[in-house]
A and B are shown apart, each in its own frame.
Chain A
Amino acid sequence: MVGKCSSAPPRVTLEDITKHFGPVVANDGVDFTLADAEIHALLGENGAGKTTLMNILYGLYRPDSGAIRVEGEIVQFDSPREAIAHGIGMVHQHFMLVPALTVLENVILGMRSKHEPLLDFGDFRRRVMDTARSYNLAVDVDARVSQLPVGVQQRVEILKALFRGARTLILDEPTAVLTPQEVDQFFDVLKGLREAGYSIVLITHKLHEVTALCDRVTVLRGGRVVGVERADNVTREQLARMMVGRDLPRSGERQEITPGAPVLEIEGIECLNARRLAALRGISLAVRRGEIVGIAGVDGNGQSELAEVIAGLRAPTAGQVRINGRDCTGATPRRCFDAGLGHIPQDRLGTGLVPELSVADNLVLQTHADSPFAQWGTLDRDAIAENAERQLEAFSIRAGSRDTATNTLSGGNQQKVILAREFSRHPDIMLAVQPTRGLDIAAAQFVHERLLAARAGNTGVLLISTELDEIMALSDRIAVIFEGRIVGVLDSATASRERVGLMMAGQDDDATARAAI
C-alpha cells in the first residue's frame, strides 16, 4: 500500500521545520515525509504542534526555518493559493466554509472562471457535480451551506479541495463531527481516494483511527517528532505511550451504586437558539443521586442550549426544570446554584472563568459575598487566600501562585480551577458540558476521576459530551440527542457503540432495536 517505488521522490517532505509563536515553540526541528498513495497519521495531544505543522505545509503559516519539498522540488508557500497550485488541499477542523453562500459558490470561491471576472455558473455546476459523483461525495450543490448538517459540510470541504486539483489532502481531526456510522463511510471515501493515488495526512489524537485506516504514523509531542512507525507494526499502547511520554495510570474503578432520589428533572423543555430557531423540541429527562447520565450526540443538536436552560442561562419557551424538587424553570443562575446545581460549562474562558482575575478570586466567584469570604459586605482576603491554598492543594492545580491571572494557566489547570470551585460547594447535581474538550490525556483522566468520585459521593451527574468514548466509559445511562429531541435512553451496560451511533444519526430507537434482532 505504501508507495514502493524508491526512485521517485516522496509526495511531500518537510525538513527540520521550526516555528515559534512569541516565546512558544510550536514546531521544533520537525521532519515529516508523505509517500504517494498513503494515508499518514499525524498523531499527538492537543498542543503537540500537529495543526501548526500542516498549516505551514498549506501556506497559512511561514516557518521560521526548515524546508518544504513537493515531489522533490523545494517550494516556499506565502499563501494557501500557492499550496493549492502545488496540489495540496486542507480540510480544517473548523470548516472554512462561508455559511451564507451556496455549496457551489463555496467550492469555486477564489478560482479563475473561464470568462474571468464573469462567473460561468452553468459550466462550474456541471464540473463540480462530475467531481462529486466520481468520488461518491453526494451533496446538493445549490443548497446554502448554513442549512447543511456538519457531516455534509465536511463532504463539501473535501469536494472543494479535490475540485481545486488537490492530490494531497490534509484532514484536521475530521471525525470529531461524525457519528460512528458516518466515520465508517468517511473512511471508505478516504480508502477510495488512496486507491486513486491520493496522499492523505490525517491529523488525529484517536489511536483506533491510526490502526484502522492509516499506513504510517508520525507521533508529535511538545513540537518534536517522537517516532515514525508503520501502522501495522505498532500497538495502541505503544502509540499512547509515545504520545503522552509515559505510561498512563489506569482510570478510576466504577463502584456499584444504587441510584437515589431524582435531583434533576426536566419535562418537555423547548427553547430557541441564538438565531431564534427551535433548538430543543420537548426534552424530558431525570438524573438521580449517584448516577451519571450521559447525553450523546453530534455537536450542534441542542446540547449547548440544553445546558444553558438547566444552568439558568437561557429561558425555555415551554416545559419545566426542577432541581432537588425546586422549580428552577427560567430561574437565574444564582437560584439554580442555590437549589444545588454545580456547572462545568462548555466554554472555559468565556463562561467558566473571569480570565483576568486571579485563581483565588475565581475560586469564590459565587460565594465571595457569603460567610466566611465576606463580612458586612467587605471581602475577607485572608479567608479567600486560605480557601485558594486549600483548593490548589486538593486539586493539584499548577499555578504560579493563588494570585496568578487565570488566563495564564494551561487548559487543564483552568479546568481544575472550575472543578475545585464547583465541587467545593458540594452540589447535588453536577452539570458537566464537554468537560475534557481541548485537554491533554492526563488532565482529561483527572476530570473523569473527579466525576466518578462525585458519583460515588452520591451526587447526580449530567454529562454532555460529543466524545462518544467518554460517554460510554462514564455513564450509567445514555440519552441520545438529535435535532433537539431525545431519541432514546439506553442502559450503558447493554448499549453498543453501533446502536448509539445510529441513534445519533436520528434513527428511531425501536426500529434500530428491531433491525438488530
Chain B
Amino acid sequence: MDVMLSEVFWIGLIAAAIRLATPILLASLGEILAERAGILNIGIEGMLLIGAFGGFLASHGTGSPWIGVLGGMIAGMALALLFAYLTITLAADQIVCGIMANLLAFGVTGFGHRVIFGMTTVIPSAPPLADWHIPGLAAIPVLGPILFQQNPLVYLGLVLVVACWFMLFRTSWGLKLRAVGEHPLAADSVGVSVRQVRYAAVLACGGLAGIGGAFLSLSQLSMFVEEMSAGRGFIALAVVIFARWHPVGALGASILFGAAEALQFRLQAQAADIPFQFLAILPYVLTVIALVSIVGRSVQPAALTRPYHKEGH
C-alpha cells in the first residue's frame, strides 16, 4: 500500500476525480436550471445515456469528435423536448415522464446500437476527443497534471459553472427562471411567460446532459456500451440537492463523487483482497450518506414538480 502515499498517486487521483466529475457536473448544472424553473427532471439519466449514444454515432459517422459533442447535445435536447412537451404543455406528472424518458433512452440506445453495428466481437469505436495540454501551464508541477492536461469538456464544465452562476444571479433570464420555479403565478402576473422559461430550462438541461453523455462515450474509451451512464444521472440529482441548487456547490459535490469513483478504481488495483463489488458501490453509498445528512436542511424551489395551469384563457 506504499503506492498510496506517493505524490504520483495523489496527483493521479485528483486529476481523475476532476475528469470523472465532469459528466456528473454537466448533468447537475442542467438539472439545477430545470429544477430552479420548477421542473424535476429525473429523466436526466436517460438524457446522459442518449447523449452518449448520439455523441458516439455522430463522431463515428463524421469522423469529427466535435461534431460528436454537438450530436450528443442535440440527442439530449431531443429527449428533453419530448419530456418538456409532456410535463409543461400537457402538464403530465414529472416523475412518471422522467421514468418514461429513462426507459425510452435505455431502449432506444441499446436497440439502436445493435441495429446499426450488429452483434460483433469487434467493438466499434469512434474518433475520441483528445486531451488539451494548455501550453505553459501544463508543465507546472502538481497543478499542471491536475488542471491543465485535461479533456476540453472538463474545461467546458468549469467555464459553465461560472456561466450558470452568472446567468442565474446576474441576468434577467436568471431572475425570471428563479421566479418561475418559486411562484409561477407571480411571474405570470408581471408578464413572464412561464411556459417559455420552463421550456428553455428543460432544453438547456437536456443539452448539458447530452454533452455530459458525449464525454462518457468520447473522452477515453471512445466506444458506446449499453447503459454506460450507470446511474450518473441519478447521482447528479443527489448532487443538486447536496449543492442546494447552486452551481458552485455542484462543482464541489461533483468532484466529491468523481473522487469516490476514482478512488474505487485505484483501490481495485491496489487492494486485491477486497472484493471489487464492495469498492464499486462507493459512489452510490456516498450518495445515500450525502442525501441522508442533508435532508431537511435544504430548501427546494417552492414550485418544484408542480405543473402550471393558466386559467381563464
Contacts and interface: CB of A to CB of B under 8 A. Distances in A.
Interface of A: 19, 21, 55, 58, 60-62, 79-82, 84, 90, 92, 95-101, 105-106, 108-113, 116-119, 160, 164
Given A60-B312, A118-B170, A101 B189 contact: no
B182 A98 contact: yes
Given A90-B189, A110-B190, A164-B190, 7 more contacts: A62-B312, A62-B313, A84-B191, A95-B186, A97-B186, A98-B186, A100-B301
Contacts of A96: 183, 185-186, 189-190
A100 B170 contact: no
Given A97-B183, A109-B176, A61 B190 contact: no
Nearest to B184: A98
10 contacts: A60-B189, A60-B311, A95-B186, A97-B183, A97-B186, A105-B175, A109-B176, A110-B191, A110-B192, A118-B170
A101 B175 CA distance: 9
Interface of B: 170-173, 175-176, 178-179, 182-183, 185-193, 299, 301-302, 311-313
B170 A79 contact: no
B312 A61 contact: yes
A92 B189 contact: yes
B295 to A, nearest CB: 13
Nearest to A63: B312
Given A96-B183, A101-B182, A61 B191 contact: no
Contacts of B189: 58, 60, 80, 90, 92, 96
Closest 10 CB pairs of A and B: A81-B191, A61-B312, A96-B186, A110-B190, A96-B189, A117-B171, A98-B183, A110-B192, A98-B182, A100-B182
A118 B171 contact: yes
A81 B191 CA distance: 4
Given A61-B313, A80-B190, A99 B175 contact: no
A431 to B, nearest CB: 30
A80 B188 contact: yes
Candidate in B186, B188, B193, B311 with the most chain A CB atoms within 10 angstroms: B186
Nearest to B172: A117
Given A21-B312, A84-B191, A110-B190, A100 B175 contact: no
Contacts of A21: 312
Given A61-B311, A62-B313, A109-B192, A98 B187 contact: yes
A116 B183 contact: no
Contacts of A98: 178-179, 182-183, 186-187
B32 to A, nearest CB: 15
A109 B313 CA distance: 23
Contacts of A111: 172, 190
Contacts of B171: 117-119
Nearest to A110: B190
A117 B182 contact: no
Contact of B175 (A82, A84, A92, A119): A119
A110 B172 CA distance: 7
A26 to B, nearest CB: 9
Candidate in B183, B185, B299 with the most chain A CB atoms within 10 angstroms: B183
A110 B187 contact: yes
A60 B188 CA distance: 9
A116 B186 CA distance: 21
Candidate in A60, A62, A92 with the most chain B CB atoms within 10 angstroms: A60
Given A60-B189, A84-B191, A100 B172 contact: no
Contacts of A60: 188-189, 311-312
Candidate in B182, B185, B189, B313 with the most chain A CB atoms within 10 angstroms: B189
Nearest to B173: A117
A81 B313 CA distance: 15
A229 B243 CA distance: 59
Contacts of B185: 96
Contact of A84 (B182, B186, B190, B313): B190
A306 B178 CA distance: 33
A62 B186 CA distance: 18
A112 B191 contact: no
B170 A109 contact: no
B188 A108 contact: no
A206 B94 CA distance: 43
A99 B176 contact: no
A96 B179 CA distance: 11
A84 B183 CA distance: 19
A55 B310 CA distance: 13
Contacts of A110: 176, 179, 187, 190-192
Given A21-B312, A117-B172, A100 B191 contact: no
Contacts of B299: 100
